[in-house]
Homo-oligomer: A and B are copies of this chain.
Amino acid sequence: MPIPISPTAPPDAVDTRRAVVLLSGGLDSSTTLAIARHEGFAAYALSFRYGQRHQFELEAAAKIAHQLGAIRHVIADIDLRQFGGSALTDDIEVPKDRPVEDLAGGIPITYVPARNTIFLSFALAWAEVLEAADIFIGVNAIDYSGYPDCRPEYIEAFQRMANLATRAGVEGRTRLQIHTPLINLTKAQIIARGLELGVDFSLTHSCYDPDARGRACGHCDACQLRLKGFAAVGIPDPAPYQP
């Protein structure tokens, strides 16, 4: 459902360029939204309810969309559970305390099949309706290279396909661009950039396995990468952790 957003949002004037920003509520996508806003885009934030184990990351997405002045925040309902195949949507146990240096090798079992392809496809649909030529996605090829759909060659191929898929592309009115401002940044660089741009990281949620109050476990792959990033920047992570 559309949620009207934020007194800090810019006027949605015809001369403001619109962008659809994929927003999970985690650290990377929140920084990506801040970058889109910093570059002057009127931001339309898009999240997904796709059978996650918990709703904390969607609550985080709504708070961050508001904090960073998105024009609208839409949560699209899709159900990937009927296809099975991943720890984030099935009842497989989330891996804990894996050595951080192992995380880049191989594809993690938390991989959701075709997830970014589905997410970008919905972003493309919304962009077409908004007559927006820009989509932002916070993929990263450095700290977490296990996902095939986070690689630059994948993003380029999606962009090429998207420009053949749409009315605007066919009619030559717009040239759709997929922006990946984080793709070559380390987690520490992402955090530093987010802090510069005023992201309130206490609102973000990264953990795959939070407790009932939404506090992070500190041990899953996502928590470990996040904590390592904050340690490298030299500040404590302001998000709540389980004692």
Contact = CB atoms under 8 A, between A and B. Distances in A.
- Chain copies in the assembled complex: 2
A154 B165 contact: yes
A129 B89 CA distance: 13
Chain A: interface size category: 35 or more
A141 to B, nearest CB: 13
B85 A117 contact: no
A1 B82 contact: yes
A170 B148 contact: yes
A77 B80 contact: no
Contacts of A112: 125
A76 B113 CA distance: 15
Interface stretch (A32-40, A95-103, A156-164): A156-164
Contacts of A124: 113-114, 117
Contacts of A164: 148-149, 151, 153-154, 157
Interface of A: 1-2, 74, 76-80, 82-85, 107, 111-118, 121-122, 124-126, 128-129, 148-149, 151, 153-154, 157-158, 160-162, 164-167, 169-171
11 contacts: A76-B82, A85-B128, A107-B170, A113-B125, A114-B125, A116-B165, A117-B161, A118-B125, A148-B164, A153-B164, A157-B164
